[in-house]
Amino acid sequence: MGAETLDHIAFPVRDLPRSEKFYQETIGLKFHTQRKNADGSPRHTYVLAGENIIGLTLPGVQVPASESEAPRYGIALDSEASFARAAKEIQASGLACGDVVEHPADSFRVRSLTFIDPDDNHIEICLTRRGLSAPCVSHVVFETKDLAKASRFWTEALGLKPAGAERGETFFEFQNGQMLGIKQVNELSERTKKHGRACHVAFNVSQQDFDRMLVAIPELGGRSLGDHRSEDGLRPPGERSIYFFDTDNNYLQITAHGTENWDLLPDEEKWRRIQENRAKIGKGISSFDAGKRAK
40-72 pLDDT, tens digit per residue, is: 999 999 999 999 999 999 999 999 999 999 999
Residue type, 27: I
**Cα-Cα-Cα-Cα dihedral of 32, 59, 126, 87, to 10°?**
100
Average pLDDT over residues 171-176: 97
Query: What pLDDT shows up at residue 259?
Result: 85
* Distance from C-alpha of 201 to C-alpha of 219, rounded to nearest angstrom: 20
183-217 pLDDT, tens digit per residue, is: 999 999 999 999 898 999 999 999 999 999 999 99
β-partners of residue 165 are 170
Average pLDDT over residues 238-246: 96
DSSP state of 160: P
pLDDT at 75 over 90: yes
* Distance from C-alpha of 114 to C-alpha of 73, rounded to nearest angstrom: 9
Helices (H) and strands (E) counted in the chain, each on its own, are 8, 16
**pTM of the model as a whole:** 0.95
- CA-based radius of gyration for the chain: 19
DSSP 3-state assignment of 42?
strand
Q: Among candidates 97, 73, 66, 75, which has minimal Cα distance to 11?
A: 73
What backbone phi and psi angles, to 5 degrees, belong to 73? -115, 125
* Distance from C-alpha of 210 to C-alpha of 216, rounded to nearest angstrom: 10
Q: Which of 13-27, 133-147, 221-235, 251-265 has the lowest mean pLDDT?
A: 251-265
- Host H or E run for residue 224: strand 223-224
pLDDT class of 293 with cuts at 50, 70, 90: low
Query: What pLDDT shows up at residue 97?
Result: 97
- Host H or E run for residue 123: strand 122-128
83-138 pLDDT, tens digit per residue, is: 999 999 999 999 999 999 999 999 999 999 999 999 999 999 999 997 789 999 99
DSSP state of 97: B
pLDDT class of 290 with cuts at 50, 70, 90: confident
User: Across the chain, what does the average pLDDT equal?
Assistant: 95
Q: What does the buried/exposed string (b/e) look like for 226-253 if buried means 16 or more CB atoms within 10 Å of the residue's CB?
A: ebebeebbbbeeebbbbbbbbbbbbbbb
Average pLDDT over residues 170-178: 97
Query: 160 near 167, Cβ under 8 Å?
Result: no
Query: 242 near 224, Cβ under 8 Å?
Result: yes
pLDDT at 294 over 80: no
What contacts 233, CB < 8 A, 6 or more positions away? Answer: 273, 274, 276, 277
Query: 165 near 147, Cβ under 8 Å?
Result: no
- Preceding amide of 59 cis, omega within 30: yes
Given the candidates 3.40.720.10, 3.40.50.300, 3.10.180.10, 3.40.50.720, the CATH classification of the domain at 5-256 is 3.10.180.10
